[in-house]
Amino acid sequence: MELRPLSPKQRAAAQSAVHRLNVWEGAVRSGKTFSSEIAWLRFSLEGPPGPLLMVGKNERTLRRNIIDPLREMLGGEHCTYVQNSGLLHLYGRGLTLAGAYVDEASTVPESFWRMLLSRLSITGARLYATTNPDSPMHWLKAGYLDRACLWLTGEGALAGAACEEPLDLARFSFRLADNETLGAEYVEQISREYSGLWRRRFIDGEWVAAEGAVYEMLDVTPGGPHVVTTLPSDLRLLRVAVDYGTTNPFVALLMGISAEPRLYVAREWRYDSKGRRTMTDSEYVEALSAWLATGADGFWVDETGRGLPVPIEKLVCDPSAASFRAAWQRRHQRWPEAADNAVLDGIRDEASLLATGRLAFHESCRGAIAEHSGYAWDSKAQEKGADAPLKLADHSCDAARYGVRSYRTVWRRWLGLPPEAEEAA
């Protein structure tokens, strides 16, 4: 790791992190995590003796975002991680509790956060946390950040308490432009990956509501940036993404990657049992298999135009559709891949590809195009501080998310991101 001097804002945040609660919030790649790590290391050395705890969304993200950078900074002598037990020894202190560090704080349950604060009972105990912005009604912002006694704003000004009953909490707000180590070309590239809601949150560091259209950047004009009338001839890594339904529509999307590079939703197969009989799992398997075996509506044909079996690499399926997956395995002797159903992560992934022009639908995929056009945020969920799309005419949207997530190791390279990376300091 190449260590560089802290920027004035990073230094100000690290030096001001002397309150019971210290929270760094704001844009991705804005430098907030590195500043928080410096403050955490200083507290680990100078804070009161006693147990320490580090919390993350899961062990993988905690290791990637926090533990691995700490090990690179300090070396194995002062920072040792025991993978089998999950113990981190920092300056010889075991991972037990007089301070706590929380990565991606907005993703932990409020009940866990409250319990954690109640355990910080040793005199001089402190909490350090990082988070990306979320809904302005999120419990972390409404119940804690808005009650900070000290706020280093996005503009770089220090502000005092803005409420009558402030908490002993320091809030440090960062924007992408605050990371002085990033080159102008990289900043421009990462800025293009986000638009609308995601840009305001993950580039500008704002806590804004998810409202209106989910994919507001989508242009469904035939021949436009997101709907093509012809497909490139070099599509490869072909996959089928399935959203399973019995009383609801069953949707299968045939997807592939071109050398441009670009991801295409090439064809769509759907069956809606409304007004018709409900198919069994075996019937769904046979119908979908026949569609693929005969060229998927003209997608895979020989020189005479006769349909040929589509050489799909894998089938990615709704993780809850265990019976359909079992039926597919019996028919084809291979298990479908259970899709990653992280809804907001999948929406953000798809929005990034649409914003950069790296995802397009063939005009024949009328159901997928119509559903994506009408895909909207749930205002009632937003009132509760949560982001969730309306569960209405979303079957193609779910299938597309599954497909996009299954390709993520490929398209992350297009965007210059390491596999699985969500952000770096």
Query: Residue 168 sits in a domain of what CATH number?
Result: 3.40.50.300
Query: Of 165, 191, 217, which closes a domain?
Result: 191
- Decide if 222 is inside a domain: no
Q: Are 110 and 251 part of one and the same domain? A: no
Higher pLDDT, 199 or 328: 328
Q: Are 379 and 234 part of one and the same domain? A: yes
Q: Is 366 helix (H, G, I), strand (E, B) or coil?
A: helix
- Decide if 201 is inside a domain: no
Task: State the DSSP H helix or E strand holding residue 184, giving kind and residue range, or none if neither.
Answer: helix 184-192
Amino acid at 243: D
Q: Are 172 and 46 part of one and the same domain? A: yes
Report the number of distinct structural domains present in the chain: 2
- The DSSP secondary structure of 44-65, one letter per residue, reads HHHS-SS-EEEE-SSHHHHIII
Does 301 score more than 70 pLDDT?
yes
Domain that holds residue 85: 8-191
What is the residue-averaged pLDDT of the chain?
88
Q: Are 234 and 177 part of one and the same domain? A: no
The pLDDT score that the predictor gives to residue 76 is: 62
Q: Which of 160-169, 183-192, 213-222 has the least mean pLDDT?
A: 183-192
Question: Cβ(50)–Cβ(98) under 8 Å?
Answer: yes
Question: Cβ(23)–Cβ(105) under 8 Å?
Answer: yes
Q: Which of 12-21, 38-47, 92-101, 239-248 has the least mean pLDDT?
A: 92-101
* DSSP 8-state secondary structure symbol assigned to residue 278: P
Contacts of 425 (CB under 8 A, 6+ apart): 29, 31, 32, 33, 34, 35, 37, 69
- Per-residue pLDDT reduced to its tens digit, 365-419: 999 999 999 999 999 998 888 899 999 999 999 999 999 999 998 888 886 665 5
The pLDDT score that the predictor gives to residue 84 is: 57
Query: Of 138, 163, 191, which closes a domain?
Result: 191
Apex CA 50: angle with CA 44 and CA 54, to 5°?
55
Which single residue is written with the structure tokens 């990653």?
340
- Share of residues in the chain with pLDDT > 90 (%): 62
Question: Cβ(52)–Cβ(97) under 8 Å?
Answer: yes
Beta bridge partners of 232: none
Amino acid at 48: P
How far does Cα 425 stand from its chain's mean position? 16
Q: Are 321 and 394 part of one and the same domain? A: yes
The pLDDT score that the predictor gives to residue 121 is: 83
Q: Are 242 and 156 part of one and the same domain? A: no
- Per-residue pLDDT reduced to its tens digit, 176-213: 888 888 888 888 878 878 878 888 898 899 999 888 99
